[in-house]
Amino acid sequence: MAFRTSRHVQVWLVLLLGLMWASADAWASIKLFMKDGNYQLVSSYEVRGDRVRYYSVERSAWEEMPTSLVDFEATQRAQEEEKASQKKVLEEARELEQRRFEKPPDSGFEVAPGIRLPQEEGVYAFDGLRVIRLIQSSAEVITDKKRAALVLAMPIPVLKSRSWVVLPGAKAAVRIQQTAPAFYIQSADGLGAKLELIRVKPSKEARLVEKVEVRAGLGKPAELRAAVPLERAQVAPGLHKLQPTQALEPGEYALGELVQQKLNLELWDFGVDKPAGK
């Protein structure tokens, strides 16, 4: 964010300087050099016989002096240098503005002829036509408090306590139109080797990712989720490709990281829609 802000400020400062200089050039920025090395700042000048008539910026008045005192070569050279400097500044401003608004071409791993991943780390889906960056959503755990209280009250651990991991909203923001996408995980820490694809169950206000059951006093929590089988391969250093072994049915899905077989609540969620016309 700091880089973007710095670039934004830099662009507008350069543009402002360019406009200021262009305005000065149009109004009053000619250095009329004298043979003794000094100069007068004038808005315009003209030679009349052996006299030079000029408009003094400092005194806001027309004045004259002998042509023998004026160094015309130095004056002309200074004007050419000033114009070249202004041109360079304006070209730099245009270049910076172009960099700011034009998206640089992706130059990462080629997933298909002419189609490449961005160089940045992230989780991407490729639907055969385009690369889609998946975004993270935070899931939350909902606990059945009544059932948990009952488990604690029972002398013999015969009941299960349950909780649910859910994502807010009935649908993910990212939509995919193809049922056989490939997923590319670009990460230096091997994230692609730890992700699982989960079919989530939508309702009106949330999507159920998994159900967690704990039998009081017995064993570890059981995490129940609808995992989708994947083919997994490392296709480049720091880059994994995940491919579902069969076409995905229309619905809601999420990619989640498993840490010691426990699901991280930061998920990359997306939806698969029916292809148009089907």
pLDDT digits (tens, 9 = 90+) for 144-157: 655 445 444 545 55
What is the average pLDDT across 62-66? 92
Residue 203's pLDDT band (boundaries 50, 70, 90)? confident
Beta bridge partners of residue 182, listed in sequence order? 126
Q: Is pLDDT at 254 greater than 60 in this prediction? A: yes
What is the average pLDDT across 245-271? 93
pLDDT at 151: 44
Q: What percent of the chain has pLDDT over 90?
A: 44
Reported as type and span, the H/E element at residue 141 is strand 140-143
134/96: higher pLDDT: 134
| Ramachandran category for residue 128: left, alpha or beta (phi over 0 → left; psi -120 to 50 → alpha) | left
pLDDT at 241: 96
Residue pair 102/128 in contact by the 8 Å Cβ criterion: no
What is the average pLDDT across 159-174? 83
User: What is the rounded end-to-end Cα distance, in angstroms, of the chain?
Assistant: 43
Both tokens assigned to 114:
């002419």
Residue pair 194/257 in contact by the 8 Å Cβ criterion: yes
Domain ranges of the chain: 2-101, 111-272
Residues in contact with 101: Cβ distance below 8 Å, sequence separation at least 6, in sequence order: none
Reported as type and span, the H/E element at residue 83 is helix 72-101
pLDDT at 60: 85
Residue 259's pLDDT band (boundaries 50, 70, 90)? confident
Q: Is pLDDT at 97 greater than 90 in this prediction? A: no
Residue 243's pLDDT band (boundaries 50, 70, 90)? very high
What is the average pLDDT across 36-51? 89
Residue pair 240/248 in contact by the 8 Å Cβ criterion: no
Between 103-107, 181-185, 200-204, the lowest mean confidence (pLDDT) is in: 103-107
Q: Is pLDDT at 96 greater than 50 in this prediction? A: yes
Q: Which of 165, 175, 163, 257 is nearest to 207 (CA)?
A: 165
Considering only the C-alpha atoms of the chain, give the largest distance between any 2 of them, rounded to a whole number of Å: 118
Both tokens assigned to 1:
């964010």
pLDDT at 85: 80
CB atoms within 10 A of CB 265: 15
pLDDT at 145: 58
Q: Is pLDDT at 193 greater than 80 in this prediction? A: yes
Residue pair 271/252 in contact by the 8 Å Cβ criterion: yes
Strand 195-202, strand 251-259: pairing = antiparallel
